[in-house]
Chains A and B, each alone.
Chain A
Amino acid sequence: MSEELKVNEEIQEEELLEETDEEQAGPIINTFDEEEKIDESKGIKKFFKNIGKKIGAFFKLIARKYNGSKFSKVVDVVLKYIGKFFYYLFYPVVLFKRKVYDKMSHAGQKVFVSILFLSPALLGFLIFYLYPLIMSLVYAFSTVSVETGKGIQVMFGQHQENGVWVKDFFYNFKELFTGATGMLPIKNPTSGAEEKISLFQALFQTAGTTILDTLVITIFSLLIAVMLNGNFKGRAFARAIFFLPVILNSEAIEAATESTEAIDSMLNSVGSNALTNIFDMKAFMTSIGIPGKLVTFLNGITSTIYSTISYAGVQILIFLAAIQSVPAHLYEAAKIEGATKYEEFWKITLPMVSPMILTVVVYTIVDSFLRSDLNEYIQQLAKNPMYGFHAAASWSYIIVSLLILGIALLVLKKVVFYYDEK
């Protein structure tokens, strides 16, 4: 408190001194006044200028009073001690930098920084990813239950039969593939009725749709990317529209509309279609009146076209970026040689973009597997005493997806062309 009083006294003293300061700075202020006289017509501007000046003067005053005052000395000391505190707090780091890091070779420093930069990702990988992954592999071969107060109980390689623990490593898998637990309710795509099929069948079906989806989405997104890359009016607008699904594509919205769809299909009234088929173009296309057999054919495409577009957003972006990075001189040379757009696509764009096809295919396979009905039904196995079954089902599903990925990589290895290596 006493210090503050002293500071106040000093401020009063310096207020007296200030007048003399202004006199010293007199000529400069005068020139400003002249300028102001010219500006007089604009009243509002002048008003704000005055306010700005006053604020500026206020801060100048504070700064002038602060510099060299006792209060500033106190602050300096405090800051010095805070600095010292942090210095000693991080002293090990400083010591490490001086004693170890600075003495490393440049290559050594690079390795050290590399590990430092990678450490968060590695830590997360170990703690949040690898451990649960291994545990799920263990769960796949064991009976898992959660009891309150006891935590997770894992009986590795055993299962209970009539109250007796029996040893059988592959019990979960056997039960899933042959027993009643593995019967999954899956919607028949043609009739819409629910059917029970075995996990084996479901895996086979999902693998088929995944391969088909991947083919369609990859080709579709490449074509769209080529189209969007061309020079035409409203290109920016078209691009903005095509990436909308990336933003609007939300599981939550799908879930919200799905849960109501179930109720509506029971009611099966006129209005319900218009309400729930918001994300489905099928109803709209049929109502437009496309005749005869075309409808059945188009229905197949149109009912999936929205989902295809909405799942292809990221892929279109990847391809677009890849096409943009193709050197322009290649196209120029092709133009001089008289190549058509068609030839340009097959001879330049496709080979140059081919490394990205790999990325897109991997992304699409994983994505469509995650979106599949099978995944949803596997999630339904996640009930308390069934955790083992769930783990086994998801691992068989992972293995199938890895198999598809492997085949895709093998096929694409022959197609992919690396420009740098040539």
Chain B
Amino acid sequence: MTKNNKKEPSKARIKYEQILADLRNPIKKAVRAQKISNKLGSLFRAIIIIGLSFVIIFPIFQQITLAFRHPQDVQNPLVIWIPEKWSILNFKIAFRLLKYEESLFNNIQVSLIAMLGQVTCSVLAGYALSRLKFKGSNIIFLLLLMTFIIPPQAVSVSRMLYFANFDIFGIVKLLNGGNTISLSGKRFVLYLMTFTGQGINSAIFIFLFRQFFRGVPVELEESAEIDGAGVFRTFWSVMLPNARGVMVTVALFSFVWQWNDVYYTSLLQLSSTDFTLLTMQLKNTAEWLPSLMKFYKLDALVDPEIRGNAMFTSLIANTAGFMMCLPLLIGYLFVQKLFVEGIERTGIVG
């Protein structure tokens, strides 16, 4: 046995030497290094992505558990995450305070029309700026970009005064017997603004469409022209169907931004007692909770001790905020693929 061992190395020995050779082999070394670095890379990625996802999801999770917490638990130091007493009382109160059933439909109406306006205006302008160029169209593009770079929010007061005393170069005064008109409280004005490229971040949408149309091969257009299609025809039946992906993206973004908007709603004072919008109702709820509770006769639902508590205010504000986002969240579950893939299909390059 021992002699054999000396002459012929054992299987273990062979294996060991093979491993040693493998370790010294430069090609295998490189392959191994790459494999390890790939694995480490994906581990790193997994850690970061899971960590950040947690950071994103945690507040939402916390908001949900808070919303289900009974108001009596508001100052209970034992309750941090999972409520001791589950209740939908917060939802009931927030529902009434937000005028949810009305404001929800109002919000949907405003956001949908604004979305339509944004898409229509920006697709037309984007196409004109990329494919129907003429002398000075670059200047127009720069001017439109200016609306983003110097955002209207920055000069909000002059805009507010202007809208309160509306007068286009003296024409309105002439027609209205020397008086200016106030645009506040008129939804029509918001719709007009979205249709004329002055909605929320319209310049970005125009930019997106311009980038997209620039990337569409010229041959497509030329062949349509050779086949006898006019300018309108080329736009409508060749270019527009191609831009479906960008249109979806722009539509979703404008819908969401309009939904969450505070600036335009307060500028035009769109939200009133007759026509409530979720964002303004939420703001009012957070600011005037005790008096609003009295106004809507909700006092009986909660003990007076808790009612005066600041934590109760923030509890209701959180629930109301969650309720405001809920339709968007539910919608996002369904269109999430469109949202992400839409922008990928935009194919924007420089």
Contact = CB atoms under 8 A, between A and B. Distances in A.
14 contacts: A114-B134, A124-B121, A124-B195, A124-B198, A136-B159, A250-B321, A253-B282, A256-B286, A256-B320, A320-B343, A370-B154, A379-B156, A391-B155, A394-B157
Given A151-B180, A321-B347, A243 B340 contact: yes
A366 to B, nearest CB: 6
A170 interface: no
Contact of B56 (A135, A257, A309): A309
B314 A257 contact: yes
B45 A232 contact: yes
Q: How large, as a class, is the contact surface on chain A?
A: 35 or more
Contacts of B160: 382
Contacts of B202: 121
A275 B318 contact: yes
B25 interface: no
Interface stretch (A37-45, A84-92, A397-405): A397-405
Contacts of B128: 113-115, 117-118
Contacts of B263: 251
Interface residues of B, number: 114
Interface of A: 106, 109-111, 113-115, 117-118, 120-125, 127-129, 131-133, 135-136, 139, 144, 146, 151-152, 224, 227-228, 230, 232, 236, 238-253, 255-257, 259-261, 263-264, 266-267, 269-272, 274-276, 278-279, 281, 284, 305-306, 309-310, 317-318, 320-322, 324-325, 340-341, 352, 354-356, 359, 362-363, 366, 370, 375, 379, 382, 387, 390-391, 394-395, 397-398, 401-402, 405, 416, 418-420
Interface of B: 34, 37-38, 41-42, 45-46, 48-49, 52-53, 55-60, 62-63, 66, 74-77, 80, 121-122, 124-125, 127-129, 132-134, 137, 140, 143-144, 147-162, 165, 168-169, 180, 192-193, 195-198, 202, 204, 206-207, 215, 225, 230-232, 235, 253, 256, 260-263, 278-280, 282-283, 285-287, 310-311, 313-315, 317-318, 320-321, 324-325, 328-329, 332, 336-337, 339-340, 343-344, 346-350
Contacts of B162: 131-132, 135
Which 8 A-B residue pairs are closest in the complex by CB-CB distance? A124-B196, A355-B350, A114-B132, A136-B158, A260-B314, A121-B197, A250-B260, A256-B286
A61 to B, nearest CB: 38
- Chain A facing B: main interface SS: helix
Nearest to A313: B56
A274 B80 contact: yes
Nearest to B137: A114
Contacts of A123: 196
